[in-house]
Amino acid sequence: MMTLTRSKLIFKHMVELPHCECVFCSTQEEDTGRTKIYLVFKDKHKIYQRNGIKGNWEDVVDPEDYQNVWEGFEHAITDRKIPSFVAAMSEISAL
């Protein structure tokens, strides 16, 4: 029987994208050092993970993965110890 252990995610940076109603999060797996990137839609309770090989965003559907990311996200927001930014929309005027 094989046992899988979930690596703890360390949230490194967060960028709130108000025009998309989501937060872009870069994380690092504590055990492996792998970087993972997520889009978290707070109001919709949806999480997407970037798949660099396929070049797309994929729904985080595994309940344990989802819980791991969501809890880490909430903890990062509460602690406010990582660099966090808000991307503002600026008007671009036509020349």
Q: Which two tokens stand for residue 64?
A: 């344990």
Q: Is residue 3 part of a domain?
A: no
Strands in 46-51's sheet, in edge-to-edge order, are 56-59, 46-51, 35-41, 22-29, 9-17, 84-86
Total domains in the fold of the chain: 1
pLDDT in tens for each of the 95 residues of the chain?
A: 444 445 689 999 999 988 888 999 999 999 999 999 999 999 899 999 999 889 999 999 999 999 999 999 999 988 888 888 888 765 444 43
Q: Which two tokens stand for residue 65?
A: 């993965």
Task: Say if residues 89 and 17 touch (Cβ distance below 8 Å).
Answer: no
Q: Is residue 89 part of a domain?
A: no
Q: Is residue 1 part of a domain?
A: no
- pTM for the full predicted model: 0.80
Range of the domain at 74: 9-82
